[in-house]
Copies of this chain bind each other. A is one copy, B any other.
Amino acid sequence: MLSEFRQDIISGAWIVVVPNRRGRPHQFKKERERIIVPEKDCPFENPQKSGNPPPLLIFSKPKSNDWFLQVIPNKFPIFEKFGECLTEKKIGPYKMIAGIGAHEVLITRDHNRHFALLEKDELELVFKAYKERYLALSKEYCINYILIIHNHGEKAGASIFHPHSQIFGISIIPPDVNSSLVGSSNYYHKNGQCAHCKVIEYESKNGLRTIFENKNFIVFCPFAPRFNYEIRIFPKFHSPNFEKTTNSQLKELAEAFKEALYRLYKNAGDPDYNFFIHTAPVSSEHIEHYHWHIEILPRISEQAGLEIGTGIEVITIPPEESAKVLRQ
């Protein structure tokens, strides 16, 4: 059976699906051990006691005296505030820009309840907090892109066990976001339609890669994934901007998101994963061709020389098969 190159319709990226590689010998430990770090050593159990600054935002659940989530500035920021915006600097033949921006952490209360185990109404609070911090950061200057991410587990690059998300305010438009903007703009001008809307319509009708749908959201495995069991969540209505999602839509999003994560946890062996929200840049105009969404990226295998040397990701489970497993 020949492998298949598949192209992402938006970014133009190529991946290769190689289903017949699954039987090859593998000499290393495949089982991931989930390392449980004791609560007493956890810097996020009582964030302020561990030397973190006071929260930028704090949410409690109805009838509860304890906090349910809080957002704090990252103690070890990748991007941070500075008095002024700085421009490009030349160093010999090279270019450099200072990493000005913001880096925040959203912490949920329970040390051991990772996101797949949260209830829908709890996830709704998480998305409300994401939106609130997005709106706050979008008013600060030098921030042109806001990225919300979550790393779950060691293989996904999490450095702290306690569930936490990160919110980045970035001064440049990230390269991957940029290539998706260019791709969706090109498609829009060529076909007079949003490429994402076209994909959503096709996936919903075709059903082969669909996992879940409610009135306003769809959950499916993409045709050209970068990771095995990759999942994407899209609003079915056209919208470039995550932050414009209404509260009633956030409720539906939480439901779709719970379905995605819980199925990954239950049906696909609880893999480590990253997820992120891709939305339009801050205060961007003429961006009608873009369509915000969430990507969930399980980290089951390592990138090797082929992937790193080509930019072509190798997939051993066809997304049609992943969707079948996740739908069960």
Interface residues, chain A, CB within 8 Å of chain B?
2-7, 9, 12-14, 16, 18, 20-21, 23-29, 35, 37, 41, 43, 75-76, 78-80, 82, 91-100, 147, 149-151, 154-161, 166, 168, 170-172, 174-177, 179, 195, 198-199, 202, 206, 223-224, 226, 274-276, 278, 295, 297, 299, 301-312, 314
Contacts and interface: CB of A to CB of B under 8 A. Distances in A.
Contacts of A226: 308
Contact of A306 (B147, B224, B312): B147
When all copies of this chain in the complex are counted, the total is 2
A171 to B, nearest CB: 8
A79 B93 CA distance: 38
A44 to B, nearest CB: 10
Most chain B CB atoms below 10 A, which of A171, A304, A310: A310
17 contacts: A2-B80, A5-B98, A6-B95, A6-B96, A13-B175, A24-B75, A25-B160, A27-B41, A27-B161, A28-B154, A28-B161, A29-B35, A149-B309, A155-B302, A157-B303, A157-B304, A175-B310
Contact of A9 (B12, B25, B29, B94): B94
B78 A306 contact: yes
A181 to B, nearest CB: 13
A197 to B, nearest CB: 11
Nearest to A81: B2
Given A157-B301, A274-B304, A302-B157, A5 B172 contact: yes
Contacts of A23: 76
A326 B179 CA distance: 35
Contact of A92 (B151, B161, B206): B206
B27 A160 contact: yes
Contacts of A43: 25
B304 A26 contact: no
Contact of A159 (B14, B24, B202, B276): B24
Contact of A7 (B18, B95, B314): B95
Given A3-B99, A14-B175, A159 B25 contact: yes
Contact of A149 (B98, B223, B305): B305
A198 B25 CA distance: 44
A258 B16 CA distance: 33
B309 A274 contact: yes
B98 A21 contact: no
Contacts of A18: 78, 99
Given A176-B310, A305-B149, A159 B28 contact: yes
Given A18-B78, A149-B304, A160-B25, A2 B206 contact: no
A95 B13 CA distance: 11
